Structure 1
Amino acid sequence: MTWQDGLTGFVAGLLISVVTAPVGVSGAVFLLPVQLSVLHVPSPAITPTNLLYNVVAGPGALARYRRNGQLTGPLARLLIAGTVPGVVLGAIIRVFAIPGPQVFRLVAAAVLLPLGLWLCTRALRPGTPDRPPLSRRALLGLSVATGTVGGIYGIGGGSILGPVLAGRGTPMTQIAPAALASTFVTSVVGAATYGLLTLVTDGDVAPHWLLGLLCGTGGLVGGYLGARLQPLLPERTLRLLLGALATALAIFYLVELRSG
């Protein structure tokens, strides 16, 4: 890895996390195409590298949310209880069932497209009535499912839960810290799982340590800044921006699939 690649990873992690931390979305969901298309991290090593990014970057935003008194309540514990076993299952699926980059791009697009459209819809129709809150059982089941997708994709799982909870009327001041806490814990578990899988499988499964650390350091700084800016930024604008980014990335992956 050249110093230019390291600098690119640091700057990308910083800028992305400034935008995503205020709404509880892990910057890894948008960092992935930078690693794949710009830094050329091979598959499936890109997924544990993204999880390493989450581990390093997560404490920045969480420290600020804790300082604001927002890391309280049962929501984070409930999300973690579901996403932790899910991310282990997702890591196993990623290594043994979805090793190829083409299938990986299809999975990434399938995750990003509905996420992006959902965020855009909620941003453009702010007067839409919220649906009834999810029950604890439904939320736990959804956490397991999103944790599994997060283990495959390298985003932890909390990033997908955030928009769903927002549509159910949960305030962003509760969603953002809970989703990021879930992403951080599941990323630690997911990265450890990939580390163990390197002992039983061939191929480039281990994370790219230096790149992940540099991207994560940028995310650490950017996440703290983003969490600090949350009270000052319009929620509608942020959700629309995130939705547009996610939709654009999904289209990018679909175009790559067609051209590849």
Structure 2
Amino acid sequence: MWVHGVTGFSAGLLIALVTAPVGVSGAVFLLPVQLSVLSVPSPAVTPTNLMFNIVATPGALLRYRRHGSLASPLTVRLVLGTLPGVVIGALTRVFAVPGAREFRLIVAAVLLPLGAWLCLRTLRRPTRHPPRRELSSTVVVTLGLVAGVVGGVYGIGGGSLLGPVLAGLGLPMAAVAPAALTATFLTSIAGAATYVVLSLTASGDIAPEWFLGLLCGMGGLLGGYLGARLQPRLPETGLRLLLGALAVGLGILYLAEGLSGQPVAQ
């Protein structure tokens, strides 16, 4: 058990250190570790991953709060979409059990070209900032709703989807990162609570693995704080390239697992 705990803590720290500067909690990269290395049963792996988000993201959020970058209209609109979305996703995961293979292939089809486009667009104009855009409330809430449903089903928070999309639409990383992380944090609380309630009425491994989720989250808490502290020191170009590379890497991972037929969360 302690070996698993140390492994989970280390994985959470390293993942959050890299992903926090671009508004991604890192749960999407922790999910394969929990399944393949730590042998977390399903569907308990989903709320365990959400628990990681709950414990890990406050470190980054605290750092962003010191810069006054949390309370923004973008954050409010994302949360309005992600909160109902995660409840829908949790109910779907427990009672409908959607096809994991199809989900992986869809995510790969979205993230691979999106990440590649974001990288290429950034490299073409390394000295210029992309135009800042104002997105309508309907668009932002809809994006949040979709990300919330995905987060509720697979426990990946949604920031890994929201970050590349919002950055690709022209929003600055200084606004995208704290908004995506805040939405991930609040959504994960609602999602984990939904799974706990469902565990009282449904059979199977539905409740989170509390000990492992806590240790993974503690690693993520430290890594997220350090990553958010680095963010203001990193150039916009570098942050966009990092986010694009993470999207491409995640897309390749899900494509490989989708083609092999091995479920991400089953």
Instruction: Give a deviation string over 1:36-84, Cα, whole Å, max 9, x none.
Output: 1111111111100000000000101000111122213211111001100
Q: 1:48 to 1:257 in 2, by over 3 A?
A: same
SS in 2 for 1:125: helix
Distance of 1:52 and 1:113 partners within structure 2: 28
Distance of 2:256 and 2:134 partners within structure 1: 33
Question: What is the Cα deviation at residue 110 of structure 1?
Answer: 2.7
Structure 2: runs of 5 or more not aligned: none
SS in 2 for 1:41: coil
* Structure 1, 116-125 or 58-67: larger mean CA deviation: 116-125
Structure 1: runs of 5 or more not aligned: none
* Structure 1, 35-44 or 243-252: larger mean CA deviation: 243-252
Question: What is the Cα deviation at residue 131 of structure 1?
Answer: 9.6
Instruction: Give a deviation string over 1:195-249, Cα, whole Å, max 9, x none.
Output: 0001111000010011100100000000001111112332243124312321232
Which residue of structure 2 aligns with residue 176 of structure 1? 177
Amino acid at match of 2:136: S
Distance of 2:262 and 2:220 partners within structure 1: 32
Q: 1:211 to 1:106 in 2, by over 3 A?
A: farther
Which residue of structure 2 aligns with residue 94 of structure 1? 93
Which residue of structure 2 aligns with residue 104 of structure 1? 100
Distance of 1:151 and 1:190 partners within structure 2: 6
Would you say the 8 A contact 2:18–2:227 is kept in 1?
yes
Which residue of structure 2 aligns with residue 12 of structure 1? 11
Would you say the 8 A contact 2:21–2:177 is kept in 1?
yes
Residues 111-260 of structure 1: matches in 2 within 5 Å?
A: 111-126=107-122, 127=124, 133-233=134-234, 234-257=238-261
Residues 18-33 of structure 1: matches in 2 within 5 Å?
A: 18-33=17-32
Would you say the 8 A contact 1:131–1:167 is kept in 2?
no
Amino acid at match of 2:180: A
Would you say the 8 A contact 1:62–1:181 is kept in 2?
yes
Aligned-residue sequence identity (percent) comes to 57
Which residue of structure 2 aligns with residue 82 of structure 1? 81
Distance of 1:112 and 1:80 partners within structure 2: 24
Q: 1:174 to 1:219 in 2, by over 3 A?
A: same
Question: What is the Cα deviation at residue 105 of structure 1?
Answer: 4.7
Q: CA RMSD in A?
A: 2.0
Would you say the 8 A contact 1:113–1:246 is kept in 2?
no
> What is the aligned length?
255
Question: What is the Cα deviation at residue 130 of structure 1?
Answer: 6.2
Would you say the 8 A contact 2:101–2:262 is kept in 1?
no
Q: 1:113 to 1:28 in 2, by over 3 A?
A: farther
